[in-house]
Homo-oligomer: A and B are copies of this chain.
Amino acid sequence: MASFTFRRQLTIEWGQCDPAGIVFNSRFFEMFDTSTWMLFEAALGVKPRELAKTFGIIGIPLVDARANFLSPAKFGDVVEIASRVAEFRRSSFEVEHKLTIGGNLAVDGVETRVWAARDKANPEKLGAVAIPADVVAKFG
């Protein structure tokens, strides 16, 4: 389990909330995506838009996302999102996002992503490739 954790604080915006006055679910997935980019930048010291080129990949596409909505976040709430890679496998990994409000867990999210590159024999084909050991080490 990788212990490197990236934390950021956000204030919930009017446009992120629905007629119930709470954050519309899709907005949490936007927040998690951004937190993943920021986590990788913090751990690897590489700007998000340099990530692909730096590692010879096409990116870290999302293959699965899920979130458990425990309590609502409302307009003006200050939330903290703590993100870390919960598990690295050979060519995929799980990013865990804990969104808290005043210390209480409000949304519990998990993304599964792959370390994806073009096939050397067939550049039209994309596929998951082994995550370099030195990348994994940076999250340790």
Residues of A within 8 A of B (CB): 13-15, 17-21, 24-27, 29-30, 33-34, 37, 47-49, 59, 61-70, 74-76
Known: A15-B24, A18-B14, A75-B49. A63 touches B59 (CB 8 A): no
- The contact of A14 among B37, B63, B68, by CB within 8 Å, is B37
A26 surroundings in chain B (CB, below 8 A): 15, 26-27, 29-30, 33
Main secondary structure of the interface of A (DSSP, over half): mixed
- The answer, among B18, B25, B37, for a CB contact under 8 Å with A65, is B25
**A75–B19 touching, CB < 8 Å:** yes
Q: Which residues of B contact A29 (CB under 8 A)?
A: 25-26, 29
CB distance from A41 to the nearest CB of B (A): 9
